[in-house]
Structure 1
């Protein structure tokens, strides 16, 4: 018989007796509810709704979408802030008189320190709630991003980006848990893809700002950092207007009813964290390996991309930015489609299919020399990369110990970031050592061969991601929102066991019913 991970590659069809089809859910939304989704406004009656006076499902869905929108906006700001450096490498080279491989040290340091933020803000969120840790996160990001625009030396810039990495590290776990735990199961696949592509939208917005604002103002590259700071502060304000996650409100209400004190909650939280690590240490290692591969895919195909087009292909800075925008359009499309598809064919199989697309499009990504060919390659490669990434928020949320679905995904994601933090430096150093010749202004010119280095790196990483995805677990359609929180007894170690036991009990009851039926027929 085939191993379980292969038999489980295509999950059984979800039980849909009480679930609505996705199109029905979306069709039931009014224009007001769509406005709630994009504006982040939530009417006061939706904060706490007594069971007898619960609003219609469509109204409640509008509220849930508003909560998800706040997570999406935070993740979008994360991307704008991060890619400010990638889009400014050539300007930073001139500003600080450094090579590209030295400037990318800032990217490496940001990625290295993000795991610290993931631990601090993830634990705080699982213990105290989603709302205020995320607000603090975004305010701190805004302050540090603003400061980066005022630095005068390269050492100051590296110091700010290192601190910035700590603040950025908490965003993804908090944003993903906020968005997914408040949505119906049937909408989580599509929501996962839309949420993750806040990253691509952020990169796209940063590219647009770099294309239109930076060349027109005396501040130059600094204007990109200041604008990104203002957008992050706006996101913090939007989140402040929204209520706490409904799942957390219910858990806190239940704890107050039982008379549990704050001191007891902290003691229980620490105990359950220890129990979770004892029981799920192998799952933790697997998640870090998975996210290492995924972060090599994204950072290896994005961080040095504008520099690659300008230096290895002779494309102008303006056209390099336009190609980056086109690539992110492919990313947005791929993420949404993959998230939706994963709801029907499974999370891991969707990831594998989109990573195969990455391998198929590598030649189109690195071989052309014209703007049209390179832009098409950017669209296709990011369709595959961010399509696979679009499944990750829901895949990690479902496979996580349910009580730690902010800490576990966030820390795994940022530890993978830490391992892959040198991807831009690897490509920059490799390209500078591996040279090629292009015709620039009618003259043969010796340039770094970033194309070959990126093609080899992404090809190897894609193969690794396929293997690690195949052998991994999948809990497709898991109702993780029904489990205990991390400050409740049994939240850390017993949640998975309870779910498995309930399945066994259900199977046993079915067998018992069949036996009773047989006995009755015999009588």
Structure 2
């Protein structure tokens, strides 16, 4: 009986599913072979990505404070989230091209400093218009970090470790969100500056990570490629390099346009999964479920613990089952936990739902850095993953606003313990459940269709 093509394409030995046929080797021995600099470079990328999350989710965690500060409702406040995500694609192109041209070190340092300055500025905004403008510029700075962090962290590692470290790197996002939630829980309520203190702290932390990256050396892989060019006598002037690089980008888009479209649509689904399950989640717990701000933040922290566990587990599993099959399995698990995520009313059950939903969402996400890195055309391992990721971010940028708008039109009745009366509130739970269910199905189907070779089961040409 013939094996269907799409099942063959899930074979972990295929190119891209396990770094061009490399089989999973002894993990312990591979870890022992890493030197201190490889660990430090990975840590610098992890921390950069964590600060990206800390700074981004500072808005999600402080929606009630921002609503009170600027006199706007939840729908209006989520405009800031949408604008940040929209402008991230611009940052991905700018900083991705710079990083592939000039190295991993100083572009990332400069990028982090820009983020620190804009995060500081966010905390000094006095009008809603100022806040929207700063968060839009902030999106440009944030957009460059992911591609550079992935290249810095993964390209210097042995192939057999990239799956595990990809999962760990991606969960820097959950780690940053977790730290922001802890700070929001203990610092913001008692600080006279309330929400502003969270943004100011994020600025200082981002600047600290920039200093940490500045004291580390350039990527050995990048230096080796430049040295090979020097030995071959192909080093050119900056003007010639720019001309050739832009020509190569044009050729890459011409020859790999199917792969580019596939990657962008894949990242669209993934970004809807993450932002649809995270950005409005604290507001959902407080508004629809009636939890206190303290309980909602604790549930958010528990959810991020699940995210970290899922990302690391998925990265390890992907070394054995392959990238795409692991993505599919973890995405399928999301559907099983949606009822626990939205139906209960008790803190314990809702926190458990958050843990398992994020275990699946961020588990699948944990494969993405190495998967895109392996799919990336040679010479574009900072530009291609970063731009694909941020273009997907751009398409899904309105996820929080979609949920907020749908919640305004889909209402439910809850009992308010504080007032002793029933009241009608937005049904964010049902809205999130429908959105995540549909998007999870899309991610499974799209991952199944795409072939990491990168040929496709249904030829388009």
TM-score tier after normalising by the smaller chain length: over 0.9
What do the CA deviations read for 1:289-338 (whole angstroms, capped 9, x no partner)? 00000000000000000000000000000110000000000000000000
1:425 aligned onto 2:430 = no
Matches within 5 A, 1:159-308: 159-259=133-233, 260-262=235-237, 263-308=239-284
Give distance in 2, aligned partners of 1:223 and 1:10: 49
Give distance in 1, aligned partners of 2:311 and 2:361: 8
- Range with greater deviation from structure 2 (441-450 or 330-339): 441-450
* CA RMSD, Structure 1 to Structure 2 (Å): 1.7
1:115 to 1:354, Cα distance in 2 relative to 1, 3 A: same
* 2:22 and 2:159 in contact (8 A); partners too: no
| Unaligned 5+ runs, structure 2 | 456-461
**Cα offset, 1:382, TM superposition:** 0.3
Give distance in 1, aligned partners of 2:24 and 2:223: 23
Give distance in 2, aligned partners of 1:62 and 1:238: 14
Give distance in 2, aligned partners of 1:266 and 1:179: 25
1:453 aligned onto 2:431 = yes
Give distance in 1, aligned partners of 2:357 and 2:68: 30
What do the CA deviations read for 1:333-389 (whole angstroms, capped 9, x no partner)? 000000110011000100010011100000000000010010000001000000000
- Tell me the residue number matched to 1:10: 11
1:377 to 1:18, Cα distance in 2 relative to 1, 3 A: closer
1:474 aligned onto 2:452 = yes
**Cα offset, 1:274, TM superposition:** 1.3
* 2:282 and 2:300 in contact (8 A); partners too: yes
Give distance in 1, aligned partners of 2:453 and 2:66: 45
- Tell me the residue number matched to 1:158: 132
- Tell me the residue number matched to 1:21: 26
* 2:279 and 2:400 in contact (8 A); partners too: yes
What do the CA deviations read for 1:171-220 (whole angstroms, capped 9, x no partner)? 00000111111000111010000000000000000001101111121111
1:234 to 1:475, Cα distance in 2 relative to 1, 3 A: farther
Give distance in 2, aligned partners of 1:386 and 1:367: 21
- Range with greater deviation from structure 2 (399-408 or 360-369): 399-408
SS at match of 2:218: coil
Give distance in 2, aligned partners of 1:272 and 1:121: 17
SS at match of 1:216: coil
1:79 aligned onto 2:42 = no
* 2:307 and 2:358 in contact (8 A); partners too: yes
Give distance in 1, aligned partners of 2:27 and 2:361: 25
1:202 to 1:425, Cα distance in 2 relative to 1, 3 A: same
What do the CA deviations read for 1:96-127 (whole angstroms, capped 9, x no partner)? 11110000000000000000000000011111
**Cα offset, 1:3, TM superposition:** 4.9
- Tell me the residue number matched to 2:95: 121
* 1:291 and 1:417 in contact (8 A); partners too: yes
- Tell me the residue number matched to 2:458: none
Matches within 5 A, 1:389-400: 389-400=365-376
Give distance in 2, aligned partners of 1:103 and 1:274: 39
**Cα offset, 1:235, TM superposition:** 0.6
- Tell me the residue number matched to 2:71: 97
Give distance in 1, aligned partners of 2:149 and 2:262: 22
Matches within 5 A, 1:65-76: 65-76=39-50
Give distance in 2, aligned partners of 1:6 and 1:268: 40
Structure with larger RCO (C-alpha < 8 A, sep 6+)? 2
Give distance in 1, aligned partners of 2:122 and 2:24: 48
SS at match of 1:109: helix
* 2:23 and 2:160 in contact (8 A); partners too: no
**Cα offset, 1:268, TM superposition:** 2.1
- Tell me the residue number matched to 1:500: none
* 2:174 and 2:304 in contact (8 A); partners too: yes
| Unaligned 5+ runs, structure 1 | 29-57, 477-495, 497-523
Give distance in 2, aligned partners of 1:177 and 1:463: 29
Give distance in 2, aligned partners of 1:401 and 1:438: 53
How many residues of Structure 1 are paired with residues of Structure 2 in the alignment? 446
- Tell me the residue number matched to 2:345: 369
* 1:309 and 1:315 in contact (8 A); partners too: yes
Matches within 5 A, 1:131-142: 131-142=105-116
* 1:6 and 1:471 in contact (8 A); partners too: no
Matches within 5 A, 1:505-516: none
Out of 301, 311, 314, the residue aligned to residue 338 of structure 1 is 314
- Tell me the residue number matched to 1:512: none
1:92 to 1:253, Cα distance in 2 relative to 1, 3 A: same
- Tell me the residue number matched to 1:88: 62
* 2:13 and 2:22 in contact (8 A); partners too: no
1:304 to 1:18, Cα distance in 2 relative to 1, 3 A: closer
